[in-house]
Amino acid sequence: MGRGFNVRVIDNLSSGSIRNIERWLGYPRFTFLRGDLLRPEDIAKVIKDCKVVYHLAANPEVRTSYTSPDTHFQENVLATYNLLEGVRKTGKINTLVFTSSSTVYGEAVKIPTPEDYAPLEPISVYGATKLACEALITSYAHMYGFRAVIYRLANVIGPRSQRGVIHDFVQKLKGNPKELEVLGNGEQRKSYLYVDDCVRALLLGGQGFRRQVEVFNLGSEDWVDVKTIAEIVIEEMGLEGVKLRFTGGVNGGRGWKGDVKDMLLDVRKIMSLGWRPSYNSAEAVRLSVRALLKEHKLTHE
């Protein structure tokens, strides 16, 4: 909106809060619709006369995809199909930006993993639904003449997060500041990206387009292991003498079925457009912990 655009947002608020956008409510260039991508009539309202669509909606819980695959199909694949049908019917959208996931790579042999890595073999239902969405978007873009930008995200973290390893650790330590349960063996290594860096990249909106569909990896240039994340959370909460209790995990030390143990993306393609992360993985984790503690006032004296 600071760039002079009119912005419409649709959200069912199943995991978010209207408080996060309160300052924009009533702003003349901003419209909020409490709706759902599972209802085509809601989609028709929100994309009417739009030129660019950012599709960030999904059920992001990898762990629940094991126990509830139907939820992921509905909220990821079907929701994306409904949105694409809305785009097709309007015929006015020129660009669709989609947030996919590093999980589409599965357990990549090549690390850092580039965008052209193959074969794509996701090991979770969540990863499979994201890959299915990519395929649908690619086909619709070619069939119906709009451009598509697909961002394969590392773990995006920051303020207001209500899920993920940092949130889980803080909540566990709030309940028991003497011991912290860590799923897996603590050696899982992944790339973490601070949300501000993610937003800057998304706002590029497909600059440097060479093809009808462009795919960009988006993450930091390094990774951090779960044990280190636990130590950062403990330090930022001002705790001492905390015992780390590792569950051992499944399938070689991962936290749960479908959990990719090692993930680091090759981000040279997006960096070639002038973007680079402001923080490495450990710095992003520390900033996120501080933001969460400040928001919920969970620090221990």
**Long-range CB contacts for residues 278-282, cutoff 8 Å, separation at least 24:** 278/194, 278/196, 278/197, 279/194, 279/197, 279/220, 280/220, 280/221, 280/222, 281/190, 281/191, 281/192, 281/193, 281/220, 281/222, 281/223, 281/224, 282/222, 282/224, 282/228, 282/232
DSSP 3-state assignment of 94?
Answer: coil
Q: Domain 165-187+223-263+280-296, what fold?
A: UDP-galactose 4-epimerase; domain 1 (3.90.25)
The listed CATH number (3.30.200.210, 3.40.120.10, 3.40.50.720, 3.10.20.580) that belongs to domain 7-158+192-218: 3.40.50.720
pLDDT of residue 271: 95
> What value does the mean pLDDT of the chain take?
92
Q: Provide the token pair at 240.
A: 């001492």
CA 218 to chain centroid, in Å, comes to 10
Cis peptide leading into residue 112 (ω within 30°): yes
pLDDT of residue 65: 61
pTM of the model: 0.93
pLDDT of residue 64: 67
Do 165-187+223-263+280-296 and 7-158+192-218 fall under one CATH topology?
Answer: no
| Residue-range domain boundaries for the chain | 7-158+192-218, 165-187+223-263+280-296
Distance CA 129, CA 103 (A): 10
Nearest to 116 by CA among 150, 139, 88, 144: 150
Cis peptide leading into residue 177 (ω within 30°): no
**Which residues of the chain register pLDDT less than 70?**
1-2, 63-66, 205-206, 208, 297-301
